[in-house]
């Protein structure tokens, strides 16, 4: 249940107005008073629908941060919200447009248990704390939140972390110079984040933002000289450093190897961190200590993400059935490197062939003869039939399934099946291309060939000359063309049949190249039958019409990349090139050098795709207008520009304002520029890791941009 006491506690307002002095009322800011006014009607209304109506005007009042009439605030401790009202409030809260800090605080009060409302002293104390000595008892706070050992409340936990950052972060910098105060604050944080356990988990620490984590790390380092520091303190410090490294990797996977030195400097690596590395940064699994890689739970996490990690697991685990099964499920080819016992394990082999049909090659002879295992393999790749035993290759169902997956799989079937007319006839109805590997006598069998081309027109290519001149069969074939070459298999007489040619072109316009000469040189026929579907690649087969500008322009407008097949004079035609790059920016590769360096065309290319700044003409790669356009649309393109531009403050500011992580590619000078770093931080707080060491260690600067970013978030959310 939520009551007025918990709300007031959440916002630092006294629990009872009757006990509040005039000075206390004056010290309560209008923000907290407005919240009280906003929720007053919630505790008095009788229905959820009335609740939503009554909150509308008050919500606007909160967002505008207008002062409330606090004289009208009644004593509300006796009023409590019903469960139904609480549910409606929770749903409304997350749909609202309230500022993030306000939403977080309201979420705390909504998600609290009855214990909070009955005993809100710890939350009141936290809201008023100014130094480590005035912080509430961790155990009492956790009990009030319902977060003591063995209990879980994700919403309250997430919000609590946010509030702790708000209240404790400013205290950290004040405590750095005093080891005793730093140790006291560090101990308090450890107890709260560990939720009654001996140590906080990495999962808990990951919920803190990078600045808070870095400050926590510095706080623990500063307090190391205090005589009261114990082993728990050192273990927590190791966990914090591990979490910082992990979050850096998650922010930018391209920097993983750059962070290798930091990784090797980490101490006290335990199972939890190892599992996080194995799950989120599996490429670094082999860098973990050997004793950690020998843990089965860690090994399973690694091979589940990357099958090849089995080569780096601890001794003995490579032959572990569970680890092997997880590895082949991720990478079937790992079966090749497993022991004979595992290669003879049906479940492991089945999992391997489901991932990669080629794994059947490495299965035991017994399982290669297992019909069920082979069926799983050919379901994922018909070529697997070649590795099956002779007995299975004579199984009609297995061979049929293999041919459905791969057009030439019949070549590995038994001779008996290849010569069985009934089997071949049924097979080509569902896998027409298999006719090529059947007994050659069936290539002249009208019923078999017709069944084959009805499924796949390209089967006409293996039919006898007699059947290639059969109009009914050829018409069926071109109507089921899958390769664009079927018309070319027909007899010369039928390739000059207008009805057949039109049917072929309707199915696949590329078949025009195989049409008779009379059609390939008839411009009106081409425009009527082909355009606007065909491309210049086909136009080049039409002799004199490849020089027709209208045809080329119509084609590149639909397929810009076809500019590469156009005659050279069209690569110098501005209108043709503009139409091509408008459809596909990469068509600029095939334009003349002059047009590649045309600013108007280059601007159109960059506006459409900022990554194309690297493919415009050499003369334009230094054009500030184009660079600014590209970076304003995709800041990370800073990695593509020249080193001189990475030292240009205006361009770098444009980049980091669009993508804060672009700070990674700025020059060292600008990574130490406060304006640039501030712009990057406001866009993405994680970008602080790319700032110079001097700025990262400048506590005043970091504190200022941190609080400014919170104000910025509130403004943008409003």
Q: Specify the range with the lowest mean pLDDT, choosing from 41-45, 70-74, 111-115.
A: 70-74
515-519 long-range contacts, CB within 8 A, separation 24+:
515/487, 516/492
**516: how many CB neighbours lie within 10 A of its CB?**
18
pLDDT of residue 657: 92
3-state secondary structure of 3: strand
- Counting residues of the chain whose pLDDT is more than 70, the rounded percentage is 71
CA nearest neighbour of 580 among 596, 466, 69: 596
| Most confident range, picked from 180-189, 379-388, 541-550 | 379-388
Gap between the Cα atoms of 390 and 187, Å rounded: 71
Residue 513 sits at the vertex; the CA angle it makes with 511 and 519, to the nearest 5 degrees, is 100
pLDDT of 372 above 90: yes
Q: Tokens in use for 560?
A: 């810009």
Tokens 């500030």 belong to: 624
CB 370 within 8 A of CB 401: no
CA nearest neighbour of 573 among 606, 536, 609, 541: 536
CA nearest neighbour of 689 among 712, 710, 662: 662
pLDDT of residue 16: 35
Tokens 């008892």 belong to: 137
Q: Specify the range with the lowest mean pLDDT, choosing from 18-22, 104-108, 435-439.
A: 18-22
CB 361 within 8 A of CB 355: no
Continuous segment of H or E residues that includes residue 230: none
3-state secondary structure of 439: coil
pLDDT of residue 146: 67
Q: What stretches of 45-175 show up as alpha helix (H) in DSSP?
A: 48-64, 83-95, 100-111, 114-118, 121-128, 138-145, 154-175
Contacts of 75 (CB under 8 A, 6+ apart): 16, 17, 18
Between 530 and 75, whose confidence is greater? 530
Q: Tokens in use for 181?
A: 């105060």
DSSP letter (8 states) at residue 369: T
pLDDT of residue 258: 56
Q: Tokens in use for 126?
A: 């936290």
CB 714 within 8 A of CB 63: no
Gap between the Cα atoms of 578 and 697, Å rounded: 51
Gap between the Cα atoms of 186 and 132, Å rounded: 9
pLDDT of residue 78: 33
Gap between the Cα atoms of 66 and 63, Å rounded: 8
Between 321 and 194, whose confidence is greater? 321
| Most confident range, picked from 118-132, 246-260, 554-568 | 554-568
Q: What value does the mean pLDDT take over residues 59-76?
A: 35
Q: What value does the mean pLDDT take over residues 166-170?
A: 77
Tell me the pLDDT tens digit for each residue of 446-496.
999 999 999 998 899 999 999 999 999 998 998 888 888 888 888 888 888
Mean pLDDT score across all residues of the chain: 76
pLDDT of 556 above 60: yes
Tokens 């099946």 belong to: 417
Gap between the Cα atoms of 93 and 531, Å rounded: 56
Q: Specify the range with the lowest mean pLDDT, choosing from 488-492, 509-513, 658-662.
A: 509-513
pLDDT of residue 256: 54
As a residue count, the chain comes to 718
pLDDT of residue 380: 92
For residue 613, which phi and psi values (nearest 5 degrees)? -60, -25
CB 626 within 8 A of CB 603: yes
pLDDT of residue 500: 84
Q: Whole-angstrom distance between the N-terminal and C-terminal Cα of the chain? A: 29
3-state secondary structure of 80: strand
Gap between the Cα atoms of 367 and 666, Å rounded: 58
Between 106 and 246, whose confidence is greater? 246
pLDDT of residue 204: 77
Cα 405 to chain centroid, rounded: 31
Q: How confident is the model at residue 89 (pLDDT cuts 50, 70, 90)?
A: low
Q: How confident is the model at residue 91 (pLDDT cuts 50, 70, 90)?
A: low
Gap between the Cα atoms of 94 and 90, Å rounded: 7
pLDDT of residue 521: 61
Gap between the Cα atoms of 576 and 569, Å rounded: 10
Gap between the Cα atoms of 660 and 581, Å rounded: 30
Residue 591 sits at the vertex; the CA angle it makes with 586 and 596, to the nearest 5 degrees, is 85
Tell me the pLDDT tens digit for each residue of 602-630.
888 888 888 887 777 777 877 888 888 98
Q: Tokens in use for 79?
A: 């009023």
Gap between the Cα atoms of 606 and 292, Å rounded: 49
**706: how many CB neighbours lie within 10 A of its CB?**
19
pLDDT of 377 above 90: yes
Radius of gyration in angstroms for the set of CA atoms belonging to the chain, rounded to a whole number: 36
Gap between the Cα atoms of 99 and 65, Å rounded: 11
Q: Is the pTM of this model over 0.85?
A: no
Q: Specify the range with the lowest mean pLDDT, choosing from 108-117, 245-254, 452-461, 563-572.
A: 108-117
Between 238 and 103, whose confidence is greater? 238
pLDDT of residue 96: 57
């Amino acid at each position: 249940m939520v009551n007025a006491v918990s709300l007031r506690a959440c916002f630092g307002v006294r629990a009872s107005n009757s006990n509040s002095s005039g000075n206390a009322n004056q010290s309560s800011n209008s923000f907290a008073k407005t919240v009280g006014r906003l929720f007053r009607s919630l505790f008095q209304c009788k229905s959820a629908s009335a609740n939503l109506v009554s909150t509308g005007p008050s919500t606007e009042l909160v967002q505008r941060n207008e002062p409330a009439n606090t004289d009208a605030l009644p004593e509300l401790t006796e009023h409590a919200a019903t469960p139904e009202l609480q549910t409606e409030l929770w749903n409304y809260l997350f749909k609202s447009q309230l500022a993030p800090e306000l939403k977080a605080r309201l979420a705390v009060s909504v998600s609290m248990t009855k214990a909070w409302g009955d005993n809100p002293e710890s939350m009141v104390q936290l809201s008023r704390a100014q130094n480590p000595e005035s912080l509430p008892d961790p155990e009492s706070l956790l009990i009030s939140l319902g977060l003591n050992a063995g209990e879980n409340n994700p919403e309250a936990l997430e919000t609590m972390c946010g509030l702790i950052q708000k209240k404790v972060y400013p205290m950290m910098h004040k405590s750095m110079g005093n080891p005793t105060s730093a140790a006291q604050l560090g101990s308090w944080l450890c107890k709260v984040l560990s939720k009654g356990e001996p140590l906080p988990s990495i999962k808990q620490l990951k919920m803190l933002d990078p600045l808070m984590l870095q400050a926590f790390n510095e706080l623990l380092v500063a307090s190391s000289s205090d005589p009261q520091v114990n082993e728990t303190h050192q273990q927590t410090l190791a966990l914090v450093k591990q979490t910082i490294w992990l979050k850096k990797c998650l922010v930018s996977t391209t920097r993983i190897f750059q962070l290798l030195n930091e990784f090797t400097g980490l101490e006290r690596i335990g199972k939890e961190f190892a599992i996080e590395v194995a799950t989120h940064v599996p490429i670094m699994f082999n860098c973990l200590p050997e004793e950690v890689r020998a843990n089965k739970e860690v090994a399973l996490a690694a091979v589940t993400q990357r099958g090849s990690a089995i080569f780096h697991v601890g001794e003995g685990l490579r032959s572990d059935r569970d680890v092997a099964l997880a590895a082949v499920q991720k990478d079937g080819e790992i079966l090749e490197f497993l022991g004979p016992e595992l290669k003879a394990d049906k479940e492991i082999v089945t999992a391997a062939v489901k991932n990669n049909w080629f794994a059947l090659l490495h299965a035991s002879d017994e399982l290669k003869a297992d019909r069920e295992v082979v069926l799983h393999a050919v379901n994922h790749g018909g070529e697997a039939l070649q590795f099956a035993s002779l007995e299975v290759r004579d199984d009609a169902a297995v061979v049929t399934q293999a041919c459905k997956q791969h057009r030439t799989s019949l070549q590995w079937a038994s001779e008996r099946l290849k010569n069985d007319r009934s089997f071949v006839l049924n097979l080509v109805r569902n896998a027409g291309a298999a006719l090529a590997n059947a007994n050659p006598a069936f290539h002249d069998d009208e019923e078999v060939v017709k069944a084959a081309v009805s499924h796949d027109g390209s089967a006409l290519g293996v039919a006898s000359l007699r059947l290639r001149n059969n109009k009914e069969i050829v018409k069926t074939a071109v109507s089921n063309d899958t390769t664009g070459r079927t018309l070319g298999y027909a007899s010369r007489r039928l390739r000059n049949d207008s009805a057949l040619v039109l049917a072929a072109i309707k199915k696949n316009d590329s078949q025009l190249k195989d049409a008779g000469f009379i059609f390939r040189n008839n411009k009106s026929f081409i425009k009527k039958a082909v355009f606007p579907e065909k491309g210049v690649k086909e136009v080049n087969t039409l002799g004199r019409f490849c020089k027709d500008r209208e045809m080329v322009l119509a084609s590149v407008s639909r397929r810009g990349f076809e500019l590469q097949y156009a005659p050279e004079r069209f690569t110098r035609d501005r209108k043709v090139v503009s139409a091509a790059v408008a459809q596909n920016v990469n068509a600029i590769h095939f334009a003349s050098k002059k047009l590649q360096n045309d600013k108007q065309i280059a601007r159109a290319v960059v506006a459409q795709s900022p990554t194309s700044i690297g493919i415009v003409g050499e003369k334009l790669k230094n054009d500030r207008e184009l660079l600014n356009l590209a970076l304003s649309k995709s800041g990370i393109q800073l990695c593509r520009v020249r080193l001189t531009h990475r030292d240009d403050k205006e361009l770098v500011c444009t980049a980091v304002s669009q993508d804060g992580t672009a700070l990674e590619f700025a020059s060292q000078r600008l990574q130490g520029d406060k304006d640039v770093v501030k712009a990057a931080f406001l866009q993405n707080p994680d970008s602080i890791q790319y700032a110079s060491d001097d700025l990262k260690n400048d506590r005043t600067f970091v504190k200022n941009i941190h609080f400014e970013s919170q104000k910025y978030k509130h403004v943008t959310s409003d």
